[in-house]
Each structure stands twice: as C-alpha cells, then as structure tokens.
A and B are shown apart, each in its own frame.
Chain A
Amino acid sequence: MAISMNWVKEYVNLDDVDLKDLAKKITDSGVNVEHVTSNELNNLVVGEVLECEDIPDTHLHKCVVDTGLDKRQIVCGANNCRKGIKVIVSLPGAILPGGFEIKPSVIRGIESNGMLCALSELGLEEDTPENHAKGIFELPLDAPVGEDVVKYMALDDTIYELDLNPNRNIDCTNHIGFAYEVASVLGRKVTLPDLSTSPIKDSVTKHFSLEIDTPNCMMYNAKMVTGVKIKESPDFIKHRLIAAGMRPINNVVDISNYVMLEFGQPLHFFDKDKLGNKIKVRMATDKETIVTLDKKERELTNEDIVITDGKKPVCIAGVMGGENTEVDENTKDILIESAIFNSYNVRYTSLRLDLRSEASLRYERGLNYEYCNMAIERACHLLEKYADGKVLSDTITHDKIDKKVKVADVTLDDVNKTLGLSMTDEDVRRSLNNLGFEYKENKGTYTVTIPNRRLDVEPHRQDLIEEIGRLYGYDKIESKLPVVETKEGNYIGSVKIRKQITKRLRALGLNECRTYTLISDEENELFKYNRQEPIELLRPMSNDKKVIRQSLVSSLLKTYEYNKSRNVKDVMIYEIANTYYNKTEEDTKIAILMKGNYINSSWNPNGIKVDFYLLKGILENLLDYLGLKNRYQLTAKEIDGIHPGISAEITLDREPIGYMGRIHPNIAKDEIYVLEISMTKLVDKKIKPIKYKEISKYPSIMKDLAFIIKKDVTSGELEDTIKRSGGKLLTNIDVFDVYTGENVKDDEKSIAYSLTFSDPTKTLSDEEVMQVFNKIIEDVSKKHNAVLRDK
C-alpha cells in the first residue's frame, strides 16, 4: 500500500515532522513502512515554446524554448509540440526516474540542450501506449516561465510504501486510517475532511426505491447527484491517485477511487438513466449471467450477491459493476452506492471469478459502517465541487449493522505481567490517549471503548495490552528467563528412534538427504512396493508436484542422478521422511541408496564396491543396533522397480516391513542398490535391556565343510538346517567360499561353511563335536539333496 504523505497532512499536522524519522517511529510501533520515497525530481522548470519547426524527413521538431534563464534549442519528438505552449523542461543535470540523466546532445546533427517532458517520463503517470500518445505535458498558459515545476505542480510529495500485517490491512489501507496511526505515534489529533454539500430540494427517495432481499447485505446507502460534467480531475486528485498507485481516468471515476483511498470504503457509481428507478439486492440465481465492465460475460452462482434493477443484475456486489449501467462520457445523473456486504461472499466470488481488485480486497477485509456513511457524503461533496454535480437531498438507506460497542477491561497489572515491563498508570493513560481509545478508570481498572475504525482490535485485555505495549515500545522490555519447573527435555514418540537410526546410518557412511514430499505421478509409479491409494493435491501447482509420495526411492534416485551429472561417483545416501496414503494415513520410511565404492581410493585398486551383500550388511547392522537381532529375515521376492534376481522382501517378527535390491535396469542402467523399510513399524518394538554375557573360558573348536547343491537352493535354507542340527554347541556359522565352475555341474554350486562349536561349561571333546558334525552332514544331505564335497 502506497501512502501519499501530502494527503495525510490534510488530516494530521506534520509541519514540524521529519518524514524519515516518522517512518521509523511508525515502523517501530508496528506498522511497517518499507520504503520512503521522496520525489527527487530536480532541474525541472516551466518553459515556453517560442519557435517550433519540423526537421525534414523525421517526426522531430527543432524548438527554441524560453526557460526564464535563457532561450535554448531543444529537439522534441512529440506530435503535440508547437509554438506558444507552456511545457515542462528538464535541463541538463536532471535525473529522471530510472536514472536517466539529461545531457546536452546532438540529434540528427542538431544541438539539443534539454528535454520537453511527458508526465509518464517523470513517473507521474503510468507508461502506457495511451499516455505515450498524449505527447508532452502542456502546462496551463498562465504558468510562470522559469518556475520550478516541482513547486508549481506540488509534486514534492513523500510516499510511504507500507508492508502491512493482515490485521492492519483493514485500517491502514486508507489515508484517514493511516493518519490515525500517525497521530497515535505523535500524540496528535486527526481532523476529518469536509463532508458538506448544498443539496437541492429534490429528494432521492422520489427517484428510487430500495429492496434488500439478502442478509448478506448489511448496509446499503444510495445518494443521487445530477448534472455532472465528465472532465479531467483537478491536479491534486490526479497526483494523489498516481502517488497511491492508481491511474487517473476522469473526474467522476477518480472521485470514486479518491474516496476509497481516503476512507477505505469502495463506492460504486451507476448511470441513473441506464439503471431506472429501482434497486434490489439479492443473491444471484445459478447460471444467471452479467456482462461486467471489462466486457466479459460472467456466469453467477447462488453464493454471489448481486445488485439488480429489480430484474436483471447490474453489478456483482463488491466485485465489479455491469456494463449495462456503466458511467460514460455522456453520463449526467449518477446513483452512488456505499455499502457493506458479507465479506465471505465477496471473497468467494472474487476468487472464483479471478476478479480481485482494490475494492474487493477491502470488502473482504471488513468495513467500518461509520466510514461507509461518511464516504458517500464525501463523494457528493467532491462531485459537487469538481464535477459540477447537484446533490439531491436525503439518502436511501438499509442498515442492519450490529452496532454493539466494543468494550474491554484492562489493568496496569495485566499490562506489566504480560509484557514483563514496569509501566505506570501514567504510561497506560498516555498510550490510550494517543491511540484515541476512550476509557474510564475505576480502582485501577481501565474500561476501554475500542473505536469502530479499529476492526482488528477485539474487546479483550490481550488486544489492549498489545496496543498499549506497541506504542510504549518493546525496546524497553528487559530479558528475564521464565520461572518454571526444572525438568529433562526429551525426544518424544517416534522422534527418538528416528534420531537413533539417523545417527547410526551416518556412522555407517551414509549421507542424509532432504527431498521434496510432492512428486509427479510418473515418479510415484516407479517403485510400487505395497502400493496403496496415493493422495493427490486438489489444486497442484504443476505436474511434477502433484502427489504426496509413497516411496522415497524415486527422490533418492533423482538425487543420485543430480550428483552423478556433477561427477560424484560414489553415492551413499539415505532419507527418513513421512509418506502418506489412503487420504490421511502416515508411514514414516527409511530409504537408502548406494552406488559405487563404499571405501574408495583414487589410485589404489583396493576399494570396496557396493553390492547387495554390502547393503544387506548395512541393514543388519542397523536392525541389530536397534536390538532386533534374529527377529528379521530376507526372502527373495520380485518387486516392482527392482531387478527380479536381486531383490528381497524384509520381514520383522514375520511382518513385511520393506524391500531391498538392485534398481531394475529398465529404470536405471547403473548398478544402484536401494532399500526401503517402514520406520513406523519399528517404533513400538519391545526389546530387552542390555545384560552382560560371559565369554566362554573354554576353547572352541572349528570345523569346515562344503556342500554341493542345486543352484536354486539358498544358503539361508542350508544354514537353517545346520543351525537346527547343530543345537546349542554350534555357536557360529560363516560362509567362506561360494563356488561354481570346474568339478561342479552347471546347475549346481558349492558352498563352504566354517562352523564353530563351544560349550560355556567345559572343554568339548572331539567325539562330542564329531557327533554333532556328522548329524549336520546327514541332515543337510537328506533335506537338501546335498553332497558333501571331498577335500
């Protein structure tokens, strides 16, 4: 929001105030003045064109201009440049908006010592093709030659660009509201503008009837002004509109905008002749249509409020007027509407039709009924003064506003306890007085009445404390730690196990990633283990962020590709993040991706390359660390997106928790291994406390053996049998060789095991071990059709 301080000066005295200091004070008390810009135009003087001749074969003119100081030659390209007019001359040394510096120059061989300016070139008008076509700006013929243009046109304004918080978006988006804020900070009073008119005898009530057929129109005021003359607005209105970021159009439209920027109350002007003699406000019916001012046909719903002439819609309330009743250059009589509508409906309608405007935003945020009443008087005053209008007496009014006065109590103790300050009653009174909040004091309690212009302040002590405090200054608060119970802070719920897992994975050489939750449909389709119904956004911003992911693997694969293309060859990464499915269900997942050398040297061949078994080792290390040793299992299983031969499902306590394997070559040619398990399923696993287990004092005996088996028999199956047959004495099994090739048939393989036997209570005898050892050989041979391989 841009505020013209020249405008604000109309309502509050700022004669002795430095506007830069003021901006800082206002910011410190809670209304952010983001930029202060002063019109820094210089070296602009009023000039008179003494001579103007065309330069052959160009659109240019060679002029001699009287600047008061001298008569100088200036080349000008504007088609309205002619002898006798008064113009704005920027002299060499002038710097125009955009940093364009005026210098003496030679154009087409002709000397030019300055420039004749258009308003758009001075930043006083928008740079549009229409404005451009107007050419240079023509000053009134009585403008004194040689006068400083900034002074003459009263351009020396200071603009505050406000960055408003949503609460102050209501009262500080108009100049009177902001003037109250300025007055609060300075402790001054606000003078409201002139609302007076000289109404003619004729009453608006004879010309119009009003019917309100919806509770969503809380207030409707209508006044009539006749005989208006459409012309340009006076300079001060134009300048102020430009300063506040609006384009001047003609006096009538400008007055409507001027009053909106003054009081914050949007007005609507109807052409009375086009409208007829009735106004009816009602909800639109479904499929009803209206052509709006922008010449587009709009289809309405029964959520939209419309102003009608009794039959057809003539305006979408709070959003945009209808073309059928538009004020144009031939308009004579105007009906002015100043109304308050249900902000929810206006918001709904403007969003649906994509028609959010300065006006609709104000309706949405809420309006002060006092200003609604004043604004219509003010508009009449200005139309009378600057559009030669005649104001009809009386106002047609519908008023169902809840006028309950907002009153709340607050004590000095409340203020100091909440802010942690030591304010005095005097300080509280000063703040309330400056805010312009009326109050009664009774035994230390302030009963405060909140003015209607502060729609954002609720009748509650906390609201008053904030208002009192922000004016007093938060810089006076001194730090003091809260006096609270001493207690231990903890990771709560699943956060704890996530931290444990994350630390373990980092220690295992994996790098933590953070990727986006929202992915594309295609990415979500890549890895579909245990797929459930995905959650799609209702209104995605783009196709690549359309669904809430159910697997982290595709994101890790993307991360891998990002790093690969930057020549990072060894990628060991993981992510722990939430996934969602079936509308609201949450599953926190742990995903790992590994590719390249786990341990690596750039010149030495002794690296360790990542393969299935390395990733399996990482998984076992993690699950064992979590106290889940011997409770999990891998089962070969084909899984979408994973190499069918290098793929396993992971179960824990017989429940599937995820999968691991090599990414299917159809998805990625590189040898990439991934794992994804549910962390949610690990959270509440009960485990035993750590207890010391004595290491056996007696020597252990090691025995090696190798079996030849069919290729499709897994080592896991053999190990299960060995364990069962080995009983208590068998304390460890290791695979030390897996062999295919010579001496082994094509459909067979040989696996060699190293078995460790021990007894914690005694030294084992050879016979005892051999008895178990032979049983193992016998059982394995029988069960798996295995042949003991000779040494």
Chain B
Amino acid sequence: MKEKVESIKSELAKDLENVNTTQEVGNLKVKYLGKKGLVTELTSNMKDLSIEEKKEVGRLSNEVKNYVTEELTKLEEEINKKELEKKLASEKIDISLPSTKVNIGGANILEKLIEEVEELAMSMGYDVVEGPEVEKDLYNFELLNLPKGHPARDAQDTFYTEGDTWLLRSQTSPVQIRTMLANEEKTPIRIICPGKTYRRDDDDATHSHQFTQIEGLLVDKDISLANLKATFDIIAKKLFGNDRETRFRPSFYPFTEPSVEMDISCFNCGGKGCNICKGTGWITVGGAGIVHHNVLDNCGYDSNKWTGFAFGFGAERLAMLKYGITDIRTFYTNDLRNKETFDRKEAE
C-alpha cells in the first residue's frame, strides 16, 4: 500500500511538471481523483480488508487525496494567475492616443461677456430687459431728446424701414424709454438692457453695421455722478481686474446731462502709457451721465422729483479690449476653432 501511495506521489510530481493550462489541470483531476482515478482506486477493494487494514488504507488514501488535491489546486491557482496576467498584458492600450471628443457647446464670445455683465448687474438688483430691434423713431430718438433734424442724429446714421417712423434701432436706449413709460406707478427703476443695434457703417476691422450695446438705467431719488462712478468702478474691476482705476471726462449725449466718457486705467501698462492706451494711460470704455430732465419728463417721471443715471458700453469694444481681439468681425464669423480658447472658466 505504501508503495502504491509513493508511486502515485512520484507520478503526480512528474505529471505536474508538464502541466501548463487549466484544461490540463482538469485532466489530472480526472486521472487522480475521478471515479476511476488512481487515488480513488486505492480504496476500490476496501470491503475485502480487515478493520485494522481498512483504517490504515483509509488514512493513507485520505492523506494522498488531500495531498493531490492541494497540489493540483496550488498549480491551478498559479496557472490562473499566469493566464490572467497574459490576458491583461494582451489588453494593454496606448493611452497616448487622442481622446474621444465629448461635445460640449459654448457661448458666442460676445454673449459670454454680456452674461458676465448681466450676472454682476443682477447681483446689484438690476433687472435684465430687452426690447424690439425694429423700433419707432419716437422711442429711438424723439423721446430721448433727439428731435427730427437734431445734428446729433448725424452720428447715428440710421436704417429706416418705413418712412421716418420705423427704423432698426441705432442704440438700446429705447428700451429705457419703454421701461419708464410702461411703469405706470412710476416707481424706481434699475435695469440693464443688452441688445443688437444697427448703424450705416461699412464693415471693416473696427466698424460693423450691426453691433451690440449694454446699457444701464437707474432712476430713483437724489442720484449723482458719484453714484454712477461707484457703479462703474464695480463693473470695470469685474471685467478688467481689481487694480483698475476709473475716471470721468466731460462729454455729450442728448439724453444725459451732465454727460461723461468713462475711462479705465490701462490694464496693459497700468497707466504708464502703451500702444493700447495710445500713450495716455487711460482707455475709454463707455459713455454715461445723469438722465436728461426732458427724457424723464417725456416718460412721465417728474424731473423735479426723480433723478437717475444711465450708462452704456459697446459690448464688442469691451470684448475686444478684454480678450485682445483686433477685428470686430470675429464676433460674427463664428469660427468654431475659437472654441478651444474660450471654452473655459475665466481667471479670477
């Protein structure tokens, strides 16, 4: 019996050396532990043995069964591990290959800037209001203190669509008029109105027959130029950096009096003078002023009780300055390759 056990063990040792696959392990399992396997056969004639012998054979065959099982399991695990490693190795990819492009859309450059201003304005309690682009001469000019034949209309050579009564608005200011007229209770007003505007200009790098204004209007009690300046400070710093300084210069708009040009200290040179600020250290970014008494009165706000300020920016100009764009047509050609530059959060 002992010899049989030893011979099984030595045969197993030989077999194990030649096994490389789980399939072959399976075959060995059958050969040793199957119904007619070598180990099973050890106990095939148990019934003819004495109790003592049965005990002995049982012990030995159990021992060798455990031994064989353990060896085969050990080998099987090893082979499984190797096979997995081989599989994983074969599945190795080149991670340097280009990504699959996940398409997230983006805002038009101008819209991105307008949204920035809108969010800032809303945080200061301004409502965002829009108005029609095909507008009445009455709202675009007359109620804004620009009667027919006013020389200042020259600067806004306008596209008319019907007689001298309907036009493509040359400014977003008619939205202010509409808002004041529509407010029948004559309560305070705080709005900004971004929108498309049109003038008879030949398109080139710095002119566009279609452009975009962002205007603001605040009507309340005892409003001053100092209030306007503080409001402008916030917008200027938000768009062009916290270290911006601002200044007002006297100007003229028919619908404000006094009127000012709004300048920021040059963000490129910090005020020393460079080609962006044309050596002056200052860049004009918009126009503003105290709302003209005629405009308030025209819209039913008694100019002896109410005061207000209005300000306006050219959205294209702001974006050109902010992002360093040199051709205004960039906003209207919609070259999708620009997305690579603009599809990200702004620096803070």
Asked if A599 and B132 sit within 8 Å, CB to CB, the answer is: no
Q: B334 touching A474 by the CB < 8 A rule? A: no
State which of A347, A417, A584, A601 has its C-beta within 8 Å of the C-beta of B224. Answer: A417
Residues of chain A within 8 A of B333, CB atoms compared? 559, 562
Q: How far is the CA of A479 from the CA of B262 in the complex (A)?
A: 13
B212 CB to closest chain A CB (Å) equals: 8
Q: CB distance B210 to A572 under 8 Å?
A: no
* B96 → chain A closest CB, angstroms: 12
- Distance A563 CA – B77 CA, assembled complex (angstroms): 59
Given contacts A490-B128, A601-B101, contact A364 B332 (CB under 8 A): no
Complexed CA–CA distance, A477 and B121 (Å) = 22
Q: Which of A478, A494, A540 makes the CB contact (< 8 A) with B226?
A: A478
Task: Flag if B104 contacts A462 (CB, 8 Å).
Answer: no
Main secondary structure of the interface of B (DSSP, over half): mixed
Q: Quick check: A420 and B127 within 8 Å, CB to CB?
A: no
* B residues less than 8 Å from A466 (CB atoms): 250, 257-259
Is A669 engaged at the interface, CB distance under 8 Å to the other chain? no
List the count of A-B residue pairs having beta carbons below 8 Å apart.
261
**Cβ-based interface call for A79 (8 A):** no
Residues on A with C-beta less than 8 A from B150 are 166
Residue of A nearest to B222 (CB): A417
Which chain B residues border A573 with CB–CB below 8 Å? 334, 336
A598 CB within 8 Å of chain B: yes
Decide: A562 and B257 in contact? CB cutoff 8 A. Answer: no
A518 at the interface (CB under 8 A from B): yes
Q: Contacts A489-B122, A506-B105 given: A541-B200 contact, CB under 8 Å?
A: yes
Q: Determine whether the beta carbon of B97 is less than 8 Å from that of A600.
A: no
What distance in Å separates the Cβ of A331 from its nearest Cβ neighbour in chain B?
A: 34
> Quick check: which of B21-29, B58-66, B158-166 contacts chain A, the rest being far away?
B158-166
**Which stretch of B7-15, B37-45, B228-236 is in the interface?**
B228-236
B:138-171 near A, CB below 8 Å: 148-152, 154-155, 159-163, 166, 168
A548-B134, A586-B132 given; A566·B335 CB < 8 A: yes
A470 at the interface (CB under 8 A from B): yes
Which of A53-61, A446-454, A480-488, A631-639 binds B? A480-488
Q: CB-CB contacts of A452-470 with B at 8 A, as 1s and 0s?
A: 0000000010110110011
For the complex, what is the distance from the CA of A532 to the CA of B339, rounded to whole Å? 36
Q: Judging by beta carbons under 8 Å apart, are A511 and B336 in contact?
A: yes
Give the segment of B78-86, B106-114, B266-274 that binds chain A: B106-114
Residues of A within 8 A of B163 (CB): 538
List chain A residues, Cβ under 8 A from B106.
506, 511-512
Shortest distance from the beta carbon of A148 to any chain B beta carbon, whole Å: 31
* Cβ 8 A contact of A537, one of B154, B161, B246, B337: B161
What's the interface size class on B, roughly?
A: 35 or more
Within the complex, which residue of A29, A418, A516, A548 is in contact with B250, where a contact is CB–CB below 8 Å? A29
Residues of A within 8 A of B161 (CB): 535-538, 548, 583
The answer to whether the Cβ of A578 comes within 8 Å of any Cβ in the partner chain is yes
Of A417, A460, A489, A559, the most chain B CB neighbours within 10 A belong to A489
B275 contacts A by Cβ under 8 Å: no
Q: A539 — nearest CB in chain B belongs to which residue?
A: B160
Q: Which residues of the other chain, B, contact A488 by a CB distance below 8 angstroms? A: 122, 125
Give min CB distance, B265 to chain A, whole Å. 13
Count class of interface residues, chain A: 35 or more
**Which listed residue, A475, A502, A562, touches B335 by the CB 8 Å rule?**
A562
Q: Give the Cβ gap from A489 to chain B, nearest Cβ, in Å.
A: 3
B184 to chain A, nearest CB (A): 16
Complex Cα gap A734–B209 (Å):
51
Inter-chain contacts of B248 with A (CB < 8 A):
474-475, 477
A515 to chain B, nearest CB (A): 6
A538 adjacent to B218 (CB under 8 Å): no
Residue A491 at the chain B interface, CB threshold 8 Å: yes
A156 to chain B, nearest CB (A): 25
Report Cα–Cα, A46/B2, bound state, in Å.
139
Whether A462 and B257, one on each chain, are in contact in the complex, defined by CB atoms closer than 8 angstroms, is: yes
Q: Of B107, B198, B257, B332, which contacts A463 at CB under 8 A?
A: B257
Tell me which of A463, A491, A548, A568 contacts B168 (CB under 8 A): A548
Residues in B with CB closer than 8 Å to A518 are 159, 168, 198, 209-210
In the complex, what residues of B have CB within 8 A of residue A703's CB? none
Asked whether A469 lies within 8 Å of B258 as measured between CB atoms, the reply is yes
Given A480-B227, A512-B106; A343-B149 close (CB under 8 Å): yes
Is the pair A606, B100 in contact by a Cβ cutoff of 8 Å? yes
Q: Residues 333-346 of chain A: 1 if any B CB is under 8 Å from the residue's CB, otherwise 0?
A: 00000000001100
Known contacts: A462-B293, A601-B101. The answer to whether A421 contacts B168 by CB under 8 A is no
Given the interface pairs A479-B226, A487-B125, the reply to whether A584 lies near B250 with Cβ below 8 Å is no
> Would you call B151 and A568 a contact (CB within 8 A)?
no
Confirm or deny: B324 has a beta carbon within 8 angstroms of a beta carbon on chain A: no
- Residues from 232 to 288 in B contacting A, C-beta threshold 8 Å: 233, 246-252, 254, 257-260
C-alpha spacing A137/B105, complex, angstroms: 69
B102 an interface residue at 8 Å Cβ cutoff? yes
B160 lies within 8 A of A604 (CB): no
Does A754 have its Cβ within 8 Å of any Cβ on chain B?
no
A510 lies within 8 A of chain B by Cβ: yes
> Is A400 part of the binding interface, using a Cβ–Cβ cutoff of 8 Å?
no
Instruction: List A contacts of B188 (CB < 8 A).
Output: 484-485
- Whether the Cβ atoms of B307 and A418 lie closer than 8 Å is yes
Whether B149 lies near A344 (C-beta < 8 A) is yes
Q: How far is the CA of A770 from the CA of B85 in the complex (A)?
A: 50
Query: In the complex the two chains form, is B224's CB within 8 Å of A474's CB?
Result: no
| Interface pair A515/B334, CB less than 8 Å apart | yes
User: In the assembled complex, how far is the CB of residue A201 from the closest CB belonging to chain B, in whole angstroms?
Assistant: 44
25 contacts between A and B (CB under 8 A): A28-B249, A30-B250, A167-B152, A169-B151, A347-B149, A419-B258, A462-B293, A466-B259, A469-B225, A474-B225, A477-B226, A481-B230, A482-B230, A489-B121, A493-B129, A495-B128, A495-B130, A506-B104, A511-B334, A517-B198, A537-B160, A537-B168, A573-B336, A574-B105, A577-B196
| 8 shortest interchain CB distances as A-B pairs | A420-B226, A30-B250, A489-B122, A420-B224, A509-B103, A165-B252, A479-B230, A466-B258
The chain A residues found within 8 Å of chain B, CB to CB, are 27-30, 165-169, 343-344, 347, 364-365, 417-421, 460, 462-463, 465-466, 469-470, 474-475, 477-482, 484-495, 502, 505-518, 535-541, 545, 548, 559, 562-563, 566, 568, 570-574, 577-578, 580, 583-584, 586, 598-604, 606
Which residues of B pack against A, CB within 8 Å? Answer: 97-108, 110-111, 118, 121-130, 132-134, 148-152, 154-155, 159-163, 166, 168, 188, 190-191, 196, 198, 200, 202, 209-210, 218, 220, 222-227, 229-231, 233, 246-252, 254, 257-260, 290, 292-293, 307, 331-337, 339
Task: Give me 12 other A-B pairs in contact (C-beta within 8 A), A494-B130, A518-B198 excluded.
Answer: A30-B250, A418-B290, A420-B229, A474-B249, A475-B247, A479-B246, A482-B223, A485-B125, A514-B110, A536-B161, A541-B202, A586-B132
